[in-house]
Amino acid sequence: MDPQTEADVSTEEDQGDWLYLSDPDITTDELEATVLTLRSNQLSAGPNVLAFEQAMAAYVGRAHAAAVGSGTLGLCLSLKVLGIGPGDEVLTAAYAWHQIAHAITIVGATPILVDIDYWSGCIDPVKAAEKATPRTKAILASNINGHPADWKALRELADRYQLKLIEDSTEAVGSRYQGRLTGSFGDVAIFDFSQPSALCCGQGGMVLTDDPTIASELGYLRERRISDRTSVSVGSRVPWQASMSDLDAALGLAQLRRIDEILMKRKQVEGWYHKEMQTFEGIKPPYLADHIDEVHWMLYKIHLGKRFTGSARNQIIEDMESNSVESAIYCVPLHQQFHYQRAGWHRGLLPNTERIADRSLTLPFHTHLDEDEVKYIVKTLKDASLNVGAGAAIY
């Protein structure tokens, strides 16, 4: 039995008949890369980390890259390098991959939550401008579920108020905005490579920038390397020990070399979903703005119509689970989470965010799904909508 077949059998035995939200695309390329690293004499920051950094920077079109232990650590380091901390404010959306935005709080800065554009789900530049104050030092904007934010307007806003622009592109590997890949728009751009990213290496992240000073400072803060043992400049800083392991980098590098293939396979699954969803009344399919060149979704996210309540959405998730289909709400907005409510945020402040979040639902989305499985998922969703009394789906 070859390694690929053996891996497939193991996966099937572990998962049974369940259809999970995500399932990383792992082939013999990734297996061989990790085995070679395990047989090497270096599992911590080593040659794979440097190779992964160079390859990721080249892929996105940035001058510098710093591999880190997670996207959250990447933003923590970036905020520190940009001089942002206690007393400073960062504009960001409450509706996003929260693991990144949490870094604002971790470094002692204050997140100022901004409402989103109803259609794209990304931070609204107009509403962000309304919340800018003399204490505002940066904008953290995410490419929500693969859909690029309005980077032209955000850059104009950042320049107008002399703010740093930080791009969270965790959810948008491979998406394009006005001819450029996501990850190429912020003063720094953050990627996280944990599940369910299309490029998945278990744990780890990457910070990209074109500024050599930022890149140098990121290196000093990320870790203290053996080669820097006697460096005065490194010794003047307290490092975070936030580097990526060589094992994670080996896996990430193998995934990056196959990223076009992975994204193409995911597009096929997306096409099956779109076809099946055409017969489902009351579903708002994934949105693509006119100025967007290409979107690669992180998850297949749908928006239930107004006839669905938040409680009906939650009941649908339970019904799907009883039929061995994993589904989930897209996110609980930050302003509805207890930690942020203690700071004065509460439901009612961000109407578009709440309107979307209450009815968002994510379905299994990965390269191992076939057309019949997608049909089963959508049929199960239709049946679940009937069970919660939300009205008949059109078949």
Q: What is the pLDDT of residues 130-159, one digit of tens each?
A: 999 999 999 999 999 999 999 999 999 999
Q: What is the mean pLDDT of residues 265-283?
A: 89
270 and 128 in a common domain = no
16 assigned to some structural domain = no
Domain region containing 309: 259-387
CA atoms within 13 A of residue 164's CA, in its CB half-sphere:
23
Query: Are 155 and 38 in a shared domain?
Result: yes
Total count of domains within the chain: 2
Closest CA to 157 of 122, 129, 134: 129
Mean pLDDT for 206-232 is 84
Instruction: State both tokens at 15.
Output: 């998962």
Q: Tell whether the model's pLDDT for residue 115 goes beyond 80.
A: yes
| In the predicted structure, residue 346 carries a pLDDT above the cut 80 | yes
CB–CB of 183/209 below 8 Å? no
Do residues 248 and 373 both lie within one domain?
no
Distances in Å between the Cα of 190 and the Cα atoms of 136, 153, 253 are 20, 19, 17
pLDDT at 5: 43
Pick from 66, 291, 79: nearest CA to 166: 79
Burial of 348 (0-12, 13-18, 19+ CB in 10 A): exposed
> Based on the domain organization, do 219 and 84 belong to the same domain?
yes
Would residue 395 count as lying in a domain?
no
- Predicted pLDDT at 389: 66
Mean pLDDT over 368-390 rounds to 90
Res 232: pLDDT: 59
Q: Give the integer Cα–Cα distance in Å for 100 and 73.
A: 8
**Which residues sit opposite 116 in a β-bridge?**
123
Looking at residue 14, its pLDDT comes to 46
Same domain, 86 and 54: yes
Same domain, 120 and 131: yes
The reply to whether 241 falls in a domain is yes
Summarize the confidence of residues 278-293 as an average pLDDT: 78
What is the predicted pLDDT for the residue at 74?
96
Q: Report pLDDT for 230.
A: 64
pLDDT at 235: 62
- Tell me 149's DSSP state: P
Asked whether the bond before 196 is cis by omega within 30 degrees of 0, the reply is yes
Q: What mean pLDDT comes out for the span 201-224? A: 93
For 238-250, what is the mean pLDDT?
91
- Of 107-121, 169-183, 211-225, the one with minimum mean pLDDT is 211-225
Report field, pTM of the whole predicted structure over 0.85:
yes
- Measure the CA–CA gap between 207 and 167, rounded to whole angstroms: 10
Collapsing DSSP states into helix, strand and coil, what is residue 116? Answer: strand
Is residue 105 situated within a structural domain?
Answer: yes
108 falls within a domain: yes
Between 236 and 323, the more confident residue is 323
End of a domain among 257, 287, 311?
257
- The predicted pLDDT at position 351 comes to 95
Measured distance CA(56)–CA(39) in Å, rounded:
24
What 3-state DSSP class applies to 140? strand
Q: From start to end of 250-297, where are the E strands?
A: 283-284, 292-294
Residue 22 lies inside a defined structural domain of this protein: no
Q: How far apart are CA 237 and CA 247, in angstroms?
A: 27
Under a CB-based contact definition with an 8 Å cutoff, are residues 57 and 257 in contact?
A: no
pLDDT interval class at 331 (50, 70, 90): confident
The pair phi, psi for residue 87, each rounded to 5°, is 90, -15
Where is pLDDT greater, at 277 or 252?
252
**318 contacts: CB under 8 Å, gap ≥ 6:** none
Contacts of residue 211, defined as CB under 8 A and 6 or more positions apart, other chains included, come to 63, 64, 187, 188
For the segment 48-104, what is each residue's pLDDT rounded down to a tens digit?
999 999 999 999 999 999 999 999 999 999 999 999 999 999 999 999 877 888 999
Is the Cβ–Cβ distance between 269 and 365 less than 8 Å?
yes
Give, for 104, the enclosing helix (H) or strand (E).
Answer: helix 98-106
322 within domain boundaries: yes
Residue 50: CATH number of its domain: 3.40.640.10
**What mean pLDDT, rounded, does the chain reach?**
89
Q: Among candidates 200, 207, 210, 201, which has minimal Cα distance to 221? A: 207
Highest mean pLDDT among 218-227, 261-270, 383-392: 261-270
Q: Among residues of the chain, what percentage have pLDDT more than 90?
A: 72
Check whether 388 has a pLDDT greater than 90. Answer: no
Tens of pLDDT along 316-329?
999 999 999 999 99
Band of pLDDT at residue 279, cut at 50, 70 and 90 = confident
β pairing state of 89-93 and 136-142 = parallel
